[in-house]
């Protein structure tokens, strides 16, 4: 079969996230580094459900991909559609079966792919039978006769070179029946008989034998052919909802490890990169009407991380066990099939995905079976180091498959390596291959417990419901509701119908009677024309606005941003009011304060009414720097993501009246957006759509834009201010201390001058009498002395004045910011859709109005399909054998209004 | 000509009057004037039971239904009726399965999305509704203080 790889793409799109695991069983490591992304294996054993919807591009953000029937957003049904149209009407799949090792009776078994290798000596007096099992139920007839597949197969044993060895093939129904004994020298082939439930191989070895690298090959070749499910043979298109399952893995197990499963692969198709290609195909196996499938959410829980797991439906868990078993290890959904409206309560059917060692084979209404091929890219690369190490290549993924848990599928977050013996063979530091849903993965913590990896769900119970809505099918948290509730007329609030718009599963849902308005529940056997899907690729309809939060901000890269705690604001204030003491080191003084004022280096202090940490990349332990000064405050530094997108919630704009009154000019609508104001909207453009608000916020300035989304498309915006600048005050310390410094300098200079003057004046006073006697100008001498005394006094005054000024240097305060938006913080914090709808006049009676006036419409139809008062616009009466006059009168009467 | 007299309690705008007719008598009538198939007049021998007739069917070759005006009576002699054709019922079987553009219908059962200016909407009274969005990032204790400083390095 040729796959259309342009549709299924190549393996590089198949990424999954594997968490790094703390081997000390203490903590988880966050999943974030691209280095941990690796080529994923694919989920195996998963049922692919999906409401038919548009083709979703592979590059669609993976958070929309929980509907998991392709990979990451690929719609399952769309997959089938493309696959079916592009592939041959039948296909053949070959699955190699592996065997387990055993060490019984001194004979060691090892294996490589299909090869069984025996070594050792068998010292018994009689023949001994060693048993190894082929683990699959491929022969279950009920699984093949009720689905569109026909299947044949054969087991092939290669010739051996040891006459003491025989391989016996047993078929099993109620007991083991020998089907064939492969001759050691010739090997042989036996056709698979579908009447057997499963097969068991037994190795018959003669006593007293020695084995030295004795080997033989055993493999099963299964051939499957399917009939295309079509609405009619003519156009070959698919119809309805398909359920498909992908239990492609070969089973590799001993009886005691029957649930371990492996990926099958072609080991002999090595690529240049040293990887091997896996090849799987998936095809729909059956289909059900939309209303015939209701999923029930189940929770697996325990009292401790390692405690025994209990399983309850979510409703039972919430009501009775949430406190007893608070740790949710996993959750998943089970499909309940049936339709109470047609007289068949829904039931859940196990899928017999494998040979069940102790309990026989489970029947399945979903007709899944082991080795059913499933359709994923056929260039699926797996490192050779893994592909050649079968013992570690356990594929656990979304759906844990155990004999008793039935069919699970992508919604499950179970890793379930509880039985993954061999995990220790593989370093956690290297690549691991897990099937994890990204969303689920991020919601789960992982703990290593010896060989096991335990999972713990971190999210809320409500979020489980939200996640499940991505499947697109009716779902409920109550098993009872699933079994009995009608999807024709939904009453229970526990029954949820996902919203599918333009062919997309939106991840939203309505519950209870509100869900009756959704078109999904009117889908019948063939809803192709009813789900707005016209078969075109989704790109045409992918009207989504891609927001791009980035590192850009209003501020330049020459600024620092910090997230500071409220308590640190006080520290900041203390810093900004720092003054210099006399013992301040001058170097520090110079560095800190004589170059700039710290208050001048603060651009803003904004408060945001949400937790910025959730949206930005930040690093703890950063020193808050203002200019070139380390404040000593330790805060969280922001480094990227300074323009962030914040979700403002959404609402579905419902049509209350379901008539023209819901539209303008009768109805007026606007959306109030906190911190931004209101946007008027036209009901005609918005009714029936989901309206959402997203804020694009500049963390530096607090400025924001609120985008109004209609579904995924932004259609309007309004500017606002979410971040509010806090008023910040401080001393212009550098200026202050400069003034102090200058005043000190002046004072010092003045004091020096005064001291000099004082000394000079003293000498003058001592010498004055002598000078007076020597001089004729006694008066002049005395006068000069007086002048000197006056100058001395003046200098003293200046010193005192400077000292006064020094003691009264004005402290220069500065304020930045202004307390803004705080009034908005006291306002409504939710977006609101505000509607003004018309009322009818008193005593309006719709029945009377309809009978006397009729309700406005514009329909082209046969008159006989209507009753009561009717007016028409026009009618062709030309072929009525009446006169022209009668025809005119008749037409005029019909136009004027008649009772039909 | 052969006519069947009825008592009819249907609205004149009723197209199919079958269930509204009560037969009184089928009699032979005599045209009183030049016969007009659209608005015929005819006379019958007097019978007090026939006086209440307000509707009739004129058999072949006309095969049409007529509304009857109140009769003129000549006591003991004749009853004289004047009729006008009920085209709605006469041709009902011909047009009932024809397709038409229907502008108003009682069958719709409720106002539709087609604007209807006749609907008695109160022009001054309104109903206000304020619907909260599903979530808000601004509730709870989440508050962040962002300090932006000029930085030249320390």
pLDDT in tens, A165-200: 777 777 766 676 777 777 666 677 777 666 665 666
Most confident among A153-157, A514-518, A573-577, A640-644 (mean pLDDT): A514-518
Q: Measured between beta carbons, which residues in chain B are less than 8 angstroms from residue A568?
A: 145
Contact A659 B113 (CB under 8 A): yes
Q: Does the pLDDT of residue A367 top 80, yes or no?
A: no
CA gap A165, A209 in Å, rounded: 9
* Size of chain A in residues: 900
CA A252 and chain centroid, separation = 32
Q: What pLDDT digit, counting tens, does each position of B31-73 carry?
A: 887 778 888 999 888 888 888 899 999 998 889 999 999 988 8
Which three-class secondary structure string do you get for chain B? CEEEEEEECCCCCECCCHHHEEEEEEEECEECCCCCCCCCEEEEECCHHHCCCCEEEECCCCCEEEEECCCEEECCCEEEEEEEECHHHHCHHHHCCCEEEEEEEHHHCCCCCCCCCCCCEEEEEEEEEEEECCCCCCCCCCCEEEEEEEECCC
A827-864 CB burial, b ≥16 within 10 A, e <16: eebbbbbbbebbebeeeeeeeebbeebbbbbebeeebe
**Residue A182: partners with Cβ closer than 8 Å, 6 or more residues away:** A157, A166, A167, A168, A169, A188
CA gap A771, A775 in Å, rounded: 6
Return the pLDDT at A225. Answer: 41
CA gap A353, A367 in Å, rounded: 10
Q: What is the DSSP letter of A509?
A: E
Return the pLDDT at A9. Answer: 19
Average pLDDT over residues B108-135: 87
- Per the CB < 8 A criterion, the answer to whether A562 and A636 are in contact is yes
pTM of the predicted model as reported, rounded to 2 decimal places: 0.50
Confidence of residue A155 (pLDDT cuts 50, 70, 90): low
**Residue A661: partners with Cβ closer than 8 Å, 6 or more residues away:** A667, A837, A838, B111, B119, B121
CB-based contact (8 Å) between A840 and chain B? yes
Q: What pLDDT digit, counting tens, does each position of A229-250 carry?
A: 333 334 433 333 333 322 222 2
Q: Measured between beta carbons, which residues in chain A are less than 8 angstroms from residue B127?
A: 835-839
| Alpha helices by DSSP H, A425-521 | 438-443, 461-468, 479-484
Contact B95 A875 (CB under 8 A): yes
Q: Measured between beta carbons, which residues in chain B are less than 8 angstroms from residue A554?
A: none
First and final CA of chain A: distance in angstroms? 60
CB atoms within 10 A of CB A637: 18
Contact A871 B105 (CB under 8 A): yes
Selected residue with higher pLDDT from A43 and A716: A716
Which A residues, 501 through 540, put their C-beta within 8 Å of a C-beta on chain B?
Answer: none
CA A323 and chain centroid, separation = 27
The packing angle between helices A778-807 and A733-774, to 10°, is 170
Mean pLDDT is lowest, of A708-717, A774-783, A872-881, for A774-783
Which B residues, 45 through 84, put their C-beta within 8 Å of a C-beta on chain A?
Answer: none
Cα separations in angstroms, A511 against A270, A504, A526, A739, A832:
51, 18, 24, 72, 21
Q: What pLDDT digit, counting tens, does each position of A743-775 carry?
A: 777 777 777 776 776 666 565 655 655 555 555
Average pLDDT over residues A821-844: 85
Mean pLDDT is lowest, of A87-101, A583-597, B80-94, for A87-101
Mean pLDDT is lowest, of A335-349, A391-405, B110-124, for A391-405
Q: Measured between beta carbons, which residues in chain A are less than 8 angstroms from residue B63?
A: none
Residue with token string 């969280």: A636
Q: Does the pLDDT of residue A475 top 60, yes or no?
A: yes
Average pLDDT over residues A332-341: 72
CB-based contact (8 Å) between B19 and chain A? no
CB atoms within 10 A of CB A687: 20
Q: Does the pLDDT of residue A865 top 60, yes or no?
A: yes
Return the pLDDT at A27. Answer: 28
CA gap A210, A21 in Å, rounded: 45
CA gap A119, A111 in Å, rounded: 11
Average pLDDT over residues A531-549: 48
Return the pLDDT at A765. Answer: 57
CA gap A101, A108 in Å, rounded: 7
Q: Measured between beta carbons, which residues in chain A are less than 8 angstroms from residue B122?
A: 838-841
Cα separations in angstroms, A76 against A39, A380, A790, A812:
20, 18, 106, 70
Is the peptide bond preceding residue A896 cis, with omega within 30 degrees of 0? no
Contact B104 A859 (CB under 8 A): no
CA gap A248, A372 in Å, rounded: 5
Confidence of residue A895 (pLDDT cuts 50, 70, 90): very high
Cα separations in angstroms, A280 against A151, A247, A263, A264, B71:
16, 10, 10, 8, 91
Phi, psi of A767 (to 5 degrees): -90, -5
Residue with token string 């691209």: A34
Looking at the partner chain, which of A602, A659, A881 has a beta carbon nearest the beta carbon of B149?
A602
Token pair for B75: 């006591």
Helix (H), strand (E) counts: chain A:
16, 44
Contact B149 A559 (CB under 8 A): yes
Q: Measured between beta carbons, which residues in chain A are less than 8 angstroms from residue B101?
A: 858-860, 872-875
- Closest-CA distance, A505 to chain B, in angstroms, reads 18
CA gap B87, A639 in Å, rounded: 85
Token pair for A441: 């993965």
Phi, psi of B113 (to 5 degrees): -80, -5
CB-based contact (8 Å) between A660 and chain B? yes
Q: Does the pLDDT of residue A351 top 80, yes or no?
A: no
Which A residues, 556 through 585, put their C-beta within 8 Å of a C-beta on chain B?
Answer: 558-566, 568-569, 572
Token pair for B89: 């019922």
Return the pLDDT at A297. Answer: 85
Listing DSSP states for A423-435 in one string gives: GGGS-TTS-----
Mean pLDDT rounded to a whole number for chain A? 60
In 3-state terms, what secondary structure has residue A695?
A: strand
Confidence of residue A149 (pLDDT cuts 50, 70, 90): very low
Strands A293-302 and A475-476: parallel
CB-based contact (8 Å) between B135 and chain A? yes
- Closest-CA distance, B45 to chain A, in angstroms, reads 30
Q: A629 forms bridges with which residues in the sheet?
A: A626
CA gap A492, A257 in Å, rounded: 42
Return the pLDDT at A372. Answer: 22
Contact B137 A648 (CB under 8 A): yes
Q: Does the pLDDT of residue A203 top 50, yes or no?
A: yes
Contact A851 B106 (CB under 8 A): yes
Cα separations in angstroms, A484 against A293, A406, A536, A702, A893:
12, 21, 36, 53, 52
**Residue A424: partners with Cβ closer than 8 Å, 6 or more residues away:** A450, A451
Q: Does the pLDDT of residue A870 top 80, yes or no?
A: yes
Q: A224 forms bridges with which residues in the sheet?
A: A151
Return the pLDDT at A85. Answer: 23
Contact A560 B153 (CB under 8 A): no
* Size of chain B in residues: 154
Q: Measured between beta carbons, which residues in chain B are less than 8 angstroms from residue A566?
A: 143, 145
Return the pLDDT at A381. Answer: 31
Return the pLDDT at A112. Answer: 47
Which B residues, 80 through 99, put their C-beta within 8 Å of a C-beta on chain A?
Answer: 85, 87-88, 90-91, 94-99
Q: Measured between beta carbons, which residues in chain A are less than 8 angstroms from residue B91?
A: 880, 882, 886, 890
Confidence of residue A525 (pLDDT cuts 50, 70, 90): very low
Cα separations in angstroms, A27 against A274, A309, A422, A451, A874:
34, 21, 22, 16, 77
CB-based contact (8 Å) between B115 and chain A? yes
Mean pLDDT is lowest, of A48-57, A512-521, A659-668, for A48-57
Q: What pLDDT digit, counting tens, does each position of B85-121 carry?
A: 999 999 999 999 999 999 999 998 888 888 888 888 8
CB-based contact (8 Å) between A886 and chain B? yes
Q: What is the share, in percent, of chain A residues with pLDDT greater than 90?
A: 10
In 3-state terms, what secondary structure has residue A682?
A: coil
Q: Does the pLDDT of residue B135 top 50, yes or no?
A: yes
Listing DSSP states for A278-294 in one string gives: E--EE-EEEEE-GGGEE
Contact A623 B152 (CB under 8 A): no
Q: Does the pLDDT of residue A28 top 60, yes or no?
A: no
Confidence of residue A443 (pLDDT cuts 50, 70, 90): low
Return the pLDDT at A185. Answer: 64
Return the pLDDT at A787. Answer: 64
């Amino acid at each position: 079969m040729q796959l259309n790889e342009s549709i299924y793409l190549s393996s590089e799109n198949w990424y999954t996230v594997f968490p790094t695991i703390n081997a000390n069983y203490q903590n988880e490591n966050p999943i974030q580094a691209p280095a941990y992304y690796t080529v994923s294996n694919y989920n195996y054993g998963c049922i692919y459900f999906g409401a038919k919807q548009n083709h979703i591009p592979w590059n669609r953000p993976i958070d929309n991909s929980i509907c998991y029937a392709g990979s990451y957003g690929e719609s399952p049904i769309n997959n089938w559609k493309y696959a079916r149209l592009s592939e041959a009407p039948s296909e053949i799949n070959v699955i190699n079966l592996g065997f387990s090792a055993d060490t019984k009776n001194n004979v060691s078994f090892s294996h490589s792919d299909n090869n069984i290798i025996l070594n050792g000596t068998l010292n018994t007096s009689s023949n001994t039978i060693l048993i190894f099992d082929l683990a699959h139920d491929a022969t279950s007839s009920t699984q093949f006769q009720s689905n569109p597949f026909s299947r044949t197969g054969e087991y092939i044993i290669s010739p051996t070179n040891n006459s003491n060895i025989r391989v016996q093939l047993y078929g099993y129904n109620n007991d083991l029946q020998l089907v064939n004994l492969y001759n050691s020298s010739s090997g042989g082939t036996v056709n698979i008989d579908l009447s057997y439930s499963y097969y068991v191989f037994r190795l018959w070895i003669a006593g007293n034998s020695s084995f030295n690298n004795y080997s033989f090959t055993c493999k099963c070749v299964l051939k499957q052919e399917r009939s295309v499910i079509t609405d009619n043979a003519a156009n070959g298109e698919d119809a309805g909802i398909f359920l498909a399952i992908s239990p492609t893995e070969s089973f590799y197990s001993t009886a005691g490890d029957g649930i371990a499963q492996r990926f099958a692969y072609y080991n002999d198709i090595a690529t240049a990169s040293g990887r091997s290609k896996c090849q799987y195909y998936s095809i729909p196996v059956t289909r059900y009407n939309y209303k015939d499938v209701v999923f029930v959410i189940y929770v697996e829980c325990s009292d401790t991380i390692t405690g025994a797991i209990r399983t309850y439906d979510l409703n039972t868990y919430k009501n009775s066990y949430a406190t007893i078993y608070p740790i949710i290890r996993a959750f998943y959904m089970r499909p309940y099939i049936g339709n109470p409206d047609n007289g068949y309560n829904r039931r859940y059917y196990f899928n017999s995905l494998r040979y069940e060692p102790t309990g026989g084979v489970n029947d399945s209404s979903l007709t899944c079976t082991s080795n059913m091929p499933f359709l994923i890219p056929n260039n699926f690369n797996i490192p050779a180091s893994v592909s050649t190490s079968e013992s570690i290549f356990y594929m656990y993924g979304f759906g844990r498959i155990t004999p008793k848990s039935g069919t699970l599928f992508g919604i499950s977050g179970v890793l379930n390596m509880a039985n993954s013996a061999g995990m220790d063979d593989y370093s956690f530091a290297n690549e691991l291959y897990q099937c994890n849903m990204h969303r689920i993965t991020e919601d789960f913590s992982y703990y290593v417990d010896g060989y096991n990896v335990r999972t713990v769900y971190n999210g809320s119970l409500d979020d489980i419901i939200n996640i499940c809505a991505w499947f697109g099918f009716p779902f409920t948290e109550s098993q009872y509701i699933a079994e009995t509730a009608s999807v024709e007329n939904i009453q229970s609030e526990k029954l949820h119908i996902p919203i599918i718009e333009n062919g997309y599963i939106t991840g939203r849902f309505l519950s209870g009677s509100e869900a009756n308005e959704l078109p999904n529940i009117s889908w019948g056997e063939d809803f192709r024309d009813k789900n707005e899907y016209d078969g075109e690729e989704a790109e045409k309809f992918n009207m989504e606005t891609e927001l791009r939060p980035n590192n850009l901000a209003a501020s330049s890269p020459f600024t620092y941003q910090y997230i500071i705690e409220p308590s640190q604001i006080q520290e900041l204030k203390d810093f900004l009011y720092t003054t210099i003491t006399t013992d301040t080191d001058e170097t520090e003084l110079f560095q800190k304060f004589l170059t700039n004022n710290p208050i001048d280096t603060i651009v803003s202090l904004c408060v945001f009414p949400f937790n910025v940490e959730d949206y930005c990349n930040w690093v703890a332990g950063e020193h808050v720097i203002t200019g070139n000064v380390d404040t000593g405050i330790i805060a969280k530094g922001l480094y990227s993501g300074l323009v962030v997108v914040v979700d403002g919630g959404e609402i579905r704009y419902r049509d209350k009246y379901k008539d023209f009154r819901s539209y303008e000019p009768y109805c007026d609508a606007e959306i109030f957006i906190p911190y931004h104001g209101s946007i008027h909207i036209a009901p005609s453009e918005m009714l029936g759509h989901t309206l959402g608000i997203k804020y694009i916020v500049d963390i530096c300035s607090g400025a924001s834009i609120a985008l109004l989304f209609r579904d995924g498309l932004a259609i309007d915006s309004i500017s606002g201010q979410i971040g509010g600048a806090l008023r910040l005050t401080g001393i212009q310390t550098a200026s202050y201390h400069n003034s102090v410094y200058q005043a000190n300098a002046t004072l010092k200079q003045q004091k020096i001058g005064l001291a000099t003057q004082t000394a000079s004046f003293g000498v003058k006073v001592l010498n004055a009498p002598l000078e007076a006697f020597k001089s004729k100008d006694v008066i002049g001498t005395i006068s000069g002395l007086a002048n000197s005394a006056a100058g001395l006094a003046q200098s003293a005054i200046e010193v005192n004045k400077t000292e006064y000024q020094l003691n009264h240097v004005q402290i220069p305060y500065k304020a930045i910011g202004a307390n803004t938006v705080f009034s908005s913080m006291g306002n409504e914090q939710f977006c609101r859709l505000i509607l003004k709808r018309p009322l009818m006049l008193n005593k309006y009676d719709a029945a009377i109005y309809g009978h006397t006036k009729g309700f406005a419409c514009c329909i082209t139809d046969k008159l006989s399909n209507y009753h009561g008062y009717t007016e028409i616009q026009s009618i062709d009466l030309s072929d009525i054998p009446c006169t022209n006059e009668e025809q005119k009168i008749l037409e005029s009467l019909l136009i004027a209004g008649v009772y039909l | 000509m052969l006519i069947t007299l009825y008592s009819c309690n249907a609205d004149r705008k009723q197209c199919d009057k079958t269930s509204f007719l009560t037969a009184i008598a089928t009699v032979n009538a005599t045209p009183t004037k030049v016969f007009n198939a659209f608005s015929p007049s005819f006379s019958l021998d007097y019978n007090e039971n026939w006086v209440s007739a307000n509707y009739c069917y004129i058999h072949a070759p006309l095969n049409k239904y007529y509304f009857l005006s109140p009769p003129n009576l000549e006591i003991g002699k004749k009853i004289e009726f004047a009729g006008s054709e009920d085209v709605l019922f006469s041709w009902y079987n011909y047009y009932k399965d024809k397709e038409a553009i229907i502008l108003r219908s009682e069958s719709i059962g409720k106002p539709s999305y087609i604007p209807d200016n006749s609907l008695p909407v109160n022009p001054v009274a309104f109903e206000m509704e304020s619907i909260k969005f599903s979530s808000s990032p601004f509730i709870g204790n989440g508050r962040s203080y962002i300090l932006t400083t000029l930085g030249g390095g320390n």
